[in-house]
Chains A and B, each alone.
Chain A
């Protein structure tokens, strides 16, 4: 994998469903992996910065895991709410961030 890739591109879920999406990145020369939440008409806001293989981070109903050896990170949302609707971006960190194109999540009431 040469670039940061995210899947799926978009996701529609019902309120209360749990969901997860994937970020894949080059596993060589790993430094850090960022997750950002980006609501429409706003700026991206940092959710997690992950640096160690096996890292698990949690913020409320949102959590993330990191596997640097195989080059992937998962973002989980438990019991999705309409306010979780946003684009979730991951980015590989060297001296600059290389972003994936994001997963656009829509949660319907």
Chain B
């Protein structure tokens, strides 16, 4: 099991460029999440998905779009990157919320710099 993987690991963009971050999990988890981590801010939820074909907004969704076309993949898109989106992005997944005790599993992170 690879667990949760993220592609790419690092990326530098110019303002206005677009890109897609890919998250993949091989644990058959229903729930998937995208977070950003900034100094002093902890982990903030961007978007999440409770199943294939569904997405929902988190705390800081502006400037991002997501898609969950396949259960194992969760894509995060930046249509027009801005310097404020410089951050480390973490993806996570979790089994169905039918059990309250399910932990989240995190990917290794993607470090994005927008110049």
Contacts and interface: CB of A to CB of B under 8 A. Distances in A.
B45 interface: yes
B12 interface: no
Contacts, number: 52
Interface residues of B, number: 25
Contact of A102 (B42, B48, B58, B101): B42
Contact of A89 (B43, B101, B102): B43
Interface stretch (A12-20, A38-46, A58-66, A72-80): A38-46
- Give the interface size bracket for A toward B: 20 to 34
State the main secondary structure of chain A at its contact with B. strand
19 contacts: A31-B100, A32-B101, A34-B103, A42-B108, A43-B90, A43-B107, A43-B108, A43-B109, A44-B90, A44-B106, A46-B104, A49-B101, A49-B103, A89-B42, A95-B31, A95-B50, A96-B45, A98-B59, A101-B41
Interface of B: 31, 33, 35, 40-45, 48, 50, 58-59, 90, 97, 100-109
